[in-house]
Chain A
């Protein structure tokens, strides 16, 4: 079984972007014990304002959530206007909706809730991309194969 991990990193080495800051997410695919980068999904602010979303690269995610019902989560421009937790976040969540988890420096409570509803785990950590990938894939492989996590560290 393969799954995807979204990572918010400015240089591809260090996890240094918060969910809100991130302009793009690196998408890694894990198959068995192999892990490789398959995509870089860029998030376009200006297009968000027009309430659509552009996806670069090969992935074919669904178009932005609820285009018809205006502005993301239904609050117009979000709680305090601009690019707060409102429209822009929902679209971002949609951008990674096919991933199993998202790794970023920090993440807000409301976005976590939105992710939770899609069964996407959020890991807010500060470490290298490599470390995060190896720990997460180790964790998921234990879970998927019904193996105990006992003594993994």
Chain B
């Protein structure tokens, strides 16, 4: 019987055009049908110097399916190089050319001598979702652009974290991670967002190590860089939100990078003092047990489901109900991620479900006894459901309709405070 996937929470691999868009002055060149870019774009900060509506596209049609679209691709790249002022051109293929077998790699290789770098990634929708597409873009950079560097820059660390645009807070988060690393004396290098771009990509091979903050996305990229560029990596599975996790994070990174313990502890102390000063001031609100919900569920990708569950349990002492990971996590990573959900303070453990079908997720939420009204942190799809359960709801994962985020973030000490503000803003409204 045919299967339907109800309200999926990701896009096809071609959605990784947004990963390219997040690299300043990099432009995606799409080898796809007309409308793909338009359908895949959403209005969460995707206008700007390049935006999905002006991405060069071969707009292939029936003729190109029958006779091949390679020539059209060649002229599209050729003309994109002429009329679009970019630093990096990334050719992305959609489903149609991949199915009929256009040799995109061969066409792109004809531009090896072009003034600007042209690389390609085969992001056909049937190969995976946009998390996989994101990995493919970084893989393309590693394989087709980056070269091993003998020269290393002391203290330089590449940071890899969220999937741009898919994650609402990608820009703020990456900037906050940079700040935290700077404070313990390291030099962060990231490629996404404001004032980053090709120069930062060029710096990647000079880094002492890669820091990956993500349960599974980009693990493959790190391995590839280790092999090709000789850069070792530190994999930190949990997005550090709030004091408990962020302090652990800084200690782990500091230890790995060989930063003196004293320096790391100084930074931690300073942040924690301010953090707990804020918490103390509002302790009366937090301890008033009628305000906040007894149990919570997070419906998000692995990154946020894990990060927020740990934060709410470890820092706020809330009790986790079932948690839902909706990013279609590849099977080989699931066990390790589920294991992380068992390592909570106060002997708490969270049950985690890997599920992409919203119908099934919503059924499970409805069936669960939250001992009162639930707290649901999820996508816009959970809004109506939570309302029907008279619960508290916060939109933290894709798709986002209920929140505008320019450069807000949930990572680090400050991010934890921001998340508390957001959750309690919702919670106190109940009593107005």
Contact = CB atoms under 8 A, between A and B. Distances in A.
Interface in A102-153: 121-125, 127, 132, 135-136, 139, 148-153
- Closest 10 CB pairs between A and B? A153-B101, A139-B66, A123-B63, A149-B100, A150-B99, A151-B101, A135-B66, A125-B67, A121-B62, A149-B99
A149 B65 CA distance: 9
B102 interface: yes
Interface centre among B62, B67, B99 (most CB of A within 10 A): B67
Interface string B57-92: 000001101111000000000000000000000000
23 contacts: A121-B62, A121-B63, A122-B63, A123-B63, A124-B63, A125-B63, A125-B67, A132-B67, A135-B66, A135-B67, A136-B66, A139-B65, A139-B66, A148-B99, A149-B65, A150-B100, A150-B101, A151-B101, A152-B100, A152-B101, A153-B100, A153-B101, A153-B102
A40 to B, nearest CB: 23
Contacts of B65: 139, 149
Contacts of A125: 63, 67
A153 B104 CA distance: 13
Mostly, the B contact residues are: helix
Interface residues of B, number: 10
Interface of A: 121-125, 127, 132, 135-136, 139, 148-153
A46 B68 CA distance: 39
B71 to A, nearest CB: 10
A136 B66 CA distance: 6
Contacts of A151: 101
Contacts of A150: 99-101
A139 B65 CA distance: 8
Nearest to A124: B63
A89 to B, nearest CB: 19
A153 B67 CA distance: 9
A56 to B, nearest CB: 29
B103 to A, nearest CB: 8
